[in-house]
């Protein structure tokens, strides 16, 4: 059967796994599952009912972070996780920060303008979007800007899971028509340009833009 990835485009967690698969040149099929009202059969595979969930032949694993760790061990090249203990710890921290705080702020404009407006056909809550962009998001972006120093990538100067997990939610922000203020966050903006222009992200962007321009 090979690799099957359950999860619709637009999810920052599904994107993370797709980028890892692309970086490792692994071929896979995608089941564009939307995580609302999922079947009991899917819950057997992903007990929290969330996306993504990956099947690799007879092996089934939910959760983007668990999937990333599995893929790194099962398909080691190219390496996407730092070798050294401190680098690894730091990369996993950025992955966690990306998956929680950053997803929380970047998906509000995406949900309001793309999902609510385009798919649920309701008016987006622009006041909520403005509040997040002006109050909640800036300290999160400040933190990441401060972590970069003069390095091209977040950990050890090398591209890693940390950069994938931080860049992924920013794609949601861009799909919602927002971007970072390059004068306020120049290092973070440069990191995003570097990471989002990789062939792995580009391969997925085309799918996402086709899908979301149809929905919105
Ligand atoms: N920690 C999980 C988070 C996955 C997640 O929250 N996915 C969202 C879609 S972006 C979902 O399935 N939400 C449905 C739900 O919470 O029931 C991961 O990294 O895979």
* pLDDT digits (tens), the chain, 216 positions: 799 999 999 999 999 999 999 999 999 999 999 999 999 999 999 999 999 999 999 999 999 999 999 999 999 999 999 999 999 999 999 999 999 999 999 999 999 999 999 889 999 999 999 999 999 999 999 999 999 999 999 999 999 999 999 999 999 999 999 999 999 999 999 999 999 999 999 999 988 888 777 544
CA of 62 to the centre of ligand 1 (A): 10
Ligand 1 atom at minimum distance from 10 CA? 10
φ, ψ dihedrals at 28, nearest 5°: -155, 160
**Bridge partner residues of 56 (DSSP):** 3, 59
| Distance from C-alpha of 19 to C-alpha of 55, rounded to nearest angstrom | 16
Atom 15 of ligand 1, nearest CA residue: 50
**Model pLDDT, residue 211:** 77
φ, ψ dihedrals at 137, nearest 5°: -75, -40
Ligand 1 atom at minimum distance from 48 CA? 17
Domain boundary among 14, 41, 74: 74
Q: How many CB atoms lie within 10 A of CB 71?
A: 22
Question: How far does Cα 19 stand from its chain's mean position?
Answer: 8
Q: In which domain, by residue range, is 19 found? A: 3-74
Whether residues 14 and 48 fall in one domain: yes
Atom 13 of ligand 1, nearest CA residue: 50
Whether residues 99 and 145 fall in one domain: yes
Whether residues 199 and 111 fall in one domain: yes
Number of domains the chain is built from: 2
CA of 186 to the centre of ligand 1 (A): 30
Whether residues 64 and 135 fall in one domain: no
Whether residues 115 and 186 fall in one domain: yes
Pocket test for ligand 1, best of 10, 31, 51, 107 (most atoms within 8 A of CB): 51
CA of 50 to the centre of ligand 1 (A): 4
Domain boundary among 74, 95, 115: 74
**Model pLDDT, residue 216:** 40
| Distance from C-alpha of 54 to C-alpha of 60, rounded to nearest angstrom | 6
**Model pLDDT, residue 214:** 56
Domain boundary among 17, 49, 74: 74
φ, ψ dihedrals at 139, nearest 5°: -65, -30
**Model pLDDT, residue 134:** 97
CA of 1 to the centre of ligand 1 (A): 25
Ligand 1 atom at minimum distance from 16 CA? 19
CATH number, position 53: 3.40.30.10
């Amino acid at each position: 059967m090979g690799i099957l990835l359950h999860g619709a485009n637009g999810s920052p967690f599904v994107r993370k796994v797709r980028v890892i698969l692309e970086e490792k040149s692994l071929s896979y099929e995608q089941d564009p599952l939307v995580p609302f009202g999922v079947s009991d059969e899917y819950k057997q595979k992903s007990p929290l009912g969330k996306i993504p969930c990956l099947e690799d032949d007879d092996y089934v694993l939910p959760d983007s972070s668990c999937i990333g760790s599995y893929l790194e061990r099962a398909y080691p090249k190219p390496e996407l996780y730092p070798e050294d203990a401190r680098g690894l710890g730091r990369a996993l921290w950025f992955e966690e920060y990306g998956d929680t705080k950053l997803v929380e702020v970047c998906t509000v404009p995406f949900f309001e303008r793309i999902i609510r407006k385009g798919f649920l056909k309701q008016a987006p809550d622009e006041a909520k979007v403005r509040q997040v962009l002006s109050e909640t998001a800036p300290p999160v972006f400040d933190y990441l800007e401060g972590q970069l120093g003069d390095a091209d990538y977040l950990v050890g100067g090398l591209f890693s899971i940390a950069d994938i997990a931080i860049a992924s939610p920013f794609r949601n922000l861009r799909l919602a028509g927002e971007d970072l203020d390059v004068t306020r966050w120049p290092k973070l903006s440069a990191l995003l340009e570097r990471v989002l222009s990789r062939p792995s992200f580009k391969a997925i962007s085309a799918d996402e833009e086709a899908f979301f321009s149809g929905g919105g």
